[in-house]
């Protein structure tokens, strides 16, 4: 009498990492890279825009150390920071810490930028030189150390290259799980059932096909004790073809053979071999048999084999050619 066993559990397989997680990790690493560069090797602070009048007054006081001119824009640094109001209407000269601001809305300015008036200032050069101002040929805000310059220039590029190397190595390795990963399209999608992972299926669970069971008893005995046959020169059959209408218990019978013999059971539908990409079917067949050999002795069950079956001797094009290659690869692996 047929037993009503609970659903079998599949062997645990590492879950595939969602592709979206890869890009999230990359963005987090990229942001962390820029944050660490700015934290450990900060560059020059952004210049504060000041009125041209304030600039001239500070030059007259001898408080301007260096300037850089680009067109009508003048950038420079004060010798001692200047307290400058955010509204730009008035300022007080007492110094402070550069970049800070007081409760009255005063901003302490060290690096500044200003704009020449439209009528220009013909005596500005002599005025600057006369007060000891250095006229630089290098932009003020680009003053960085050599290490900071290297990191700012090559850091993002090196990080991007390292990410792509890591991504493609992970993809080539299968990306976790059978058939996973960008380059794991040729991986087998077979599901592996271990007898230790769930209820054991035996011939007692199969009813109504006693003749087929009797034909498979010898295979079970060979899998249990192969030396019994090999020392006499016997070999196991290359495969068994189970023919029957849908729902007659072909899959259950194959599981029962594996359960009686106590060997791993790999199950895969023939329709899962063929894809739009040429050669994928044959590659998946090779990977399926490779997995089975690693766990030998084992049983491979290919359901709905007629999905890739065809008559030989006819010209094959397109999808039919892919089906023929897949079928030929199965026959080659069984030899």
Return the structure tokens found at 215.
Answer: 């034909």
The model's confidence at residue 100, banded by pLDDT at 50, 70 and 90, is: very low
* Tens of pLDDT, residues 162-217: 777 777 776 655 444 444 444 556 566 667 776 666 677 888 888 877 788 888 88
CATH class of 48-143: alpha beta
Q: What is the pLDDT of residue 20?
A: 60
pLDDT at position 67 over 70: yes
Q: What is the pLDDT of residue 152?
A: 66
Q: Mean pLDDT throughout 272-279? A: 73
Q: What is the pLDDT of residue 229?
A: 80
Q: What is the pLDDT of residue 171?
A: 60
Average pLDDT over the chain, rounded to whole?
A: 72
Q: What is the pLDDT of residue 195?
A: 63
Residue 31 or residue 302, greater confidence: 302
Q: What is the pLDDT of residue 3?
A: 42
Q: Mean pLDDT throughout 136-154? A: 64
> Taken in order 303, 307, 313, 318, is the CA torsion positive or negative?
negative
- Beta-carbon neighbour count of residue 148 at 10 Å? 18
pLDDT at position 312 over 80: no
Which CATH architecture group holds 191-334?
3-Layer(aba) Sandwich (3.40)
Instruction: Outline where DSSP puts E strands in the chain.
Output: 48-49, 64-70, 73-85, 106-115, 134-135, 191-193, 265-269, 299-303
Residue 34 or residue 172, greater confidence: 34
* Tens of pLDDT, residues 214-270: 888 888 888 888 888 888 887 877 788 888 888 888 888 888 888 888 888 888 888
Q: What is the pLDDT of residue 161?
A: 80
pLDDT at position 134 over 60: yes
Please identify which residue in the block is written with the tokens 């600039």.
55
**What Å distances lie between residue 329 and 22, 99, 193, 256, 320, CA to CA?**
35, 72, 24, 26, 14
Q: Which helix (H) or strand (E) holds 61?
A: none
Q: What is the pLDDT of residue 139?
A: 62
């Amino acid at each position: 009498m047929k037993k009503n066993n609970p659903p079998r559990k599949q062997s645990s397989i590492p879950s595939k990492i969602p592709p979206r997680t890869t890009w999230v990790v990359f963005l987090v690493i990229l942001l962390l890279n820029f944050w660490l560069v700015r934290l450990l090797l900060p560059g020059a602070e952004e210049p504060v825009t000041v009125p041209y009048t304030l600039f001239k007054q500070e030059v007259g006081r001898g408080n301007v150390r260096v300037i850089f001119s680009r067109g009508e824009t003048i950038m420079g640094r004060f010798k001692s920071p200047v307290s400058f109001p955010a509204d730009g209407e008035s300022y007080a000269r007492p110094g402070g810490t550069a970049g800070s601001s007081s409760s009255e809305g005063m901003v302490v300015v060290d690096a500044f930028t200003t704009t020449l008036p439209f009528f220009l200032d013909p005596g500005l050069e002599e005025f600057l030189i006369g007060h000891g101002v250095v006229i630089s040929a290098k932009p003020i805000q680009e003053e960085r150390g050599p290490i900071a310059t290297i990191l700012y220039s090559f850091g993002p590029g090196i990080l991007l290259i390292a990410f792509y190397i890591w991504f493609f190595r992970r993809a080539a390795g299968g990306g976790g799980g059978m058939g996973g990963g960008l380059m794991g399209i040729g991986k087998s999608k077979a599901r592996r059932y271990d007898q230790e992972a769930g209820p054991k299926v035996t011939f007692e669970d199969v009813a109504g096909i006693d003749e087929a069971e009797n034909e498979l008893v010898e295979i079970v005995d060979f899998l249990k004790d192969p030396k019994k046959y090999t020392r006499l020169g016997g070999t196991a059959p290359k495969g068994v073809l189970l023919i029957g209408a849908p729902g007659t218990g072909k899959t259950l019978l194959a599981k029962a053979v594996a359960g009686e013999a106590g060997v791993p059971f790999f199950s895969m539908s023939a329709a899962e071999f063929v894809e739009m990409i040429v050669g994928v079917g044959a590659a998946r067949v090779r990977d399926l048999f490779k997995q089975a050999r690693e766990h030998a002795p084992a049983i491979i069950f290919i359901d709905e084999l007629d999905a890739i079956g065809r008559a030989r001797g006819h010209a094959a094009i397109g999808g039919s050619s892919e089906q023929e290659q897949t079928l030929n690869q199965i026959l080659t692996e069984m030899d």
